[in-house]
Chain A
Amino acid sequence: MDALMNFGQGIFGGAWPAVWTLIKIVLIVAPLMLGVAYLTYFERKVIGFMQVRIGPNRVGPWGLIQPIADGLKLLLKEIIVPSGSSKAVFVIAPMLAIAPALAAWAVIPFTDTLVLANIDASLLYILAITSMGVYGVILSGWASNSKYAFLGAMRSAAQMVSYEIAMGFALITVLMIAGTLNFIDIVEGQNKGMFADMGLGFLSWNWLPLLPMFLVYLISGTAELNRAPFDIAEGESEIVAGFHVEYSGMAFALFFLAEYANMILVAALTSILFLGGWLSPVGFLPDGIWWMFAKMSFVLFLFLWFRATFPRYRYDLLMRLGWKVFLPLCFFWVIIVGAWMISPLNIWN
């Protein structure tokens, strides 16, 4: 590592820190994009097996080249800009969708040392960046000058704003017991307690003491991602494809990439905040990045499982769940956790 640093310093001189950061960004984004490609393959295979089908199996062995073929197809297709659309916004909207999905990865730690930017307010940064994702959806719906796209955008905006609150409250409970906004400290904080000392680390992670909030976070996360059963923003049976009806080719692909990159992001956040990140579940196995990836894959599998299992929620039920069930539950649980923390039964000191 030092040799590499010295080598880079020799070649680029003063610009080396910037170049090194760029290299790190590429090292995060390139595997992320590959992950997105193979997440679609994983999704089609998993849902295929759950529905007693085979899934993609024509391109390459076991259909492994399928996502690459799909990507190439989308690259080569024409981007059609509808007449009467607001052209500048129509083009900017997919960029606004994908930019936050990628920018959020800047503060995600993969192990206690492997992180692009270890900043104090990482959690706040994530909240700020992910709250921008809704603009891509709203603007694409508005700029398309199409009824279906506009309806999809309206639905999606209302849904994302509603569930962001529940999600934020779930994060607040994590903040309360961790006492820090830094992801690395939040993960390290889950590595202590009675069960961790007994070598049963997975019982001391946040998911167990904060079980209701973990469920709220997971469900609101699914809703934030516009994934089934909360995919009313797309709602094929009602509004064709929702906000991205008018998009084709690479512009559509950007929305697609953003959705799947966000899925992986929420999986990573769930692992970090509730499932102990890179910590090993049992004492006799070493901690490491593979645990992080295993937990992320598990959460991603949950998203696919939901999609194959539940029918789409009705719009009014969705709003009811967000505002009348999750929000009061969150308020209540924040008070419970607060009382728990000042009581003698506090387990987080």
Chain B
Amino acid sequence: MDFQTAVFFFLSAILVFAALRVITARNPVYAALHLMLAFFTTGGLWLMLQAEFLGIALIVVYVGAVMVLFLFVVMMLDINIDRIREGFWRYLPLGAVLGLVMVLEMGLVLGSKYFQVPISEVVVPAGVSNTKEIGALLVTDYVFPFELAAVILLVGMIAAVVLTFRGRKASKISNPNTQVFVKAKDRVRVLQMPVEKD
């Protein structure tokens, strides 16, 4: 077994373990942490496939940004685990069907040799920077899908803002100019009160 295979099995073992813990961990923060570990090792596996741009982008986007926000939210939640467990049997059939579909899809990809699906066997020549190649493809062949994706993201962003926007609060801006010119008698009213005697 050469070094690369050893690294592959090492990363895969961590990935499988982390993915399992994502769905079995009772504490949602631990689940999120294992998801982060899963993303990180996937990044490593992609690096081994010489897709360095995709591998690093996965870590920048998912581990560096998405999971931070995810963790942010999950940490704030007070999740009652028993309540979540209640729906387990009800959702099991749906989950099982989805899982089966995913297993089938993965089987088709992995076993493409046996199912006569044409497999892509691109050999990357040394010295080709795939960051540059992806960039060139994005702005030539795939420019419209790329722009479409950008527009969809923008729409999603605006939608998120609109959904959470609850209207402007009453303004609380203070004007330093008027604050400076305030006189004591504008603010404090001195009342004359007779001394109370009993």
Contact = CB atoms under 8 A, between A and B. Distances in A.
Q: Do A and B bind each other?
A: yes
Given A89-B33, A131-B60, A138 B68 contact: yes
A27 interface: no
Contact of B72 (A86, A125, A131, A138): A138
Q: Per DSSP, are chain A's interface residues mostly helix, strand or loop, or mixed?
A: helix
A89 B33 CA distance: 10
Nearest to A134: B68
Interface string A119-141: 11100110110011011001100
A217 interface: no
Nearest to B57: A124
B174 to A, nearest CB: 13
Contacts of B36: 135
Nearest to B59: A128
Q: Per DSSP, are chain B's interface residues mostly helix, strand or loop, or mixed?
A: helix
B24 interface: no
A203 B30 CA distance: 51
Interface residues of B, number: 22
Query: Which of A124, A125, A128 has most B Cβ within 10 Å?
Result: A128
A88 to B, nearest CB: 9
A131 B67 CA distance: 11
B160 to A, nearest CB: 15
Interface of A: 86, 89, 119-121, 124-125, 127-128, 131-132, 134-135, 138-139, 142, 150, 154, 157, 161, 164, 181
> Which 5 A-B pairs give the minimum distances between C-beta atoms?
A131-B64, A128-B59, A124-B56, A128-B60, A128-B56
28 contacts: A86-B27, A86-B29, A89-B29, A89-B33, A119-B52, A120-B129, A121-B52, A121-B53, A121-B129, A128-B43, A128-B59, A128-B63, A131-B60, A132-B59, A132-B63, A135-B36, A135-B71, A138-B68, A138-B71, A138-B75, A139-B33, A142-B29, A142-B75, A154-B72, A157-B68, A161-B65, A164-B64, A181-B131
